[in-house]
Amino acid sequence: MASGVFGTPISEKTVIATGEYKEPITQKDVADYAMKMINAGGKDINALTFVDNLKERYGNGIAVKCLIYNATGATLSLAKYNDWHGHIYDTPYPSDIQNGQWGAFLHVHPSGAAVGSAGAVVYRTKIPSSSRSCDWLFSWTAPYIGDNG
């Protein structure tokens, strides 16, 4: 399993094996089952522990703990990222997060600069019953001074 990715992927075969869904199994069925299994096997705790450990190693300073759960019924593939202020710490952005998996990473402010952390990632997946794709944007900002709200 790639660094920063947690949990066993949930596929059409996984869903069929449960006996809870009627065939033909759709992408929506696979996504629905992934949502039911969001915390299965402690994968959520493993992802959170991973970013907590990254933050502990990073030390003091502004950082954003980023957690993404994939319940789209397809694989999320990294399409693009932008670091406006700061950078990813220690591990790369997960390149692929399969259905039923958590992706986790830590984004930190630039060293020696009085700015916070701000960035975004775009993951791409296919649209159900189509050859077209859909982009999912995840963005964050944590100011150097003030609150996030």
Domain total in the chain = 1
Integer-rounded Cα radius of gyration of the chain: 17
The residue to which tokens 């964050």 are assigned = 140
Helix (H, G, I), strand (E, B) or coil at 47: helix
Residue 77 belongs to some domain of the structure = yes
Residue 147 belongs to some domain of the structure = no
pLDDT, tens digit, for every residue of 96-117?
A: 999 999 999 999 998 888 889 9
Give the model's confidence band at 77: pLDDT under 50 very low, under 70 low, under 90 confident, else very high.
very high
Nearest one of 5, 35, 22 to 105, comparing CA atoms: 5
User: CA–CA separation, 16 vs 25, rounded Å?
Assistant: 7
Model pTM score: 0.92
Task: Say if residues 78 and 93 touch (Cβ distance below 8 Å).
Answer: yes
Residue 149 belongs to some domain of the structure = no
User: CA–CA separation, 17 vs 5, rounded Å?
Assistant: 23
User: CA–CA separation, 78 vs 124, rounded Å?
Assistant: 6
41: which DSSP letter?
A: G
Task: Supply the range of the domain harboring residue 61.
Answer: 5-142
Residue 107 belongs to some domain of the structure = yes
Nearest one of 71, 70, 100, 75 to 7, comparing CA atoms: 100
pLDDT, tens digit, for every residue of 12-65?
A: 999 999 999 999 999 999 999 999 999 999 999 999 999 999 999 999 999 999
Residue 50 belongs to some domain of the structure = yes
- CATH number for the domain spanning 44: value is 2.60.270
Residue 148 belongs to some domain of the structure = no
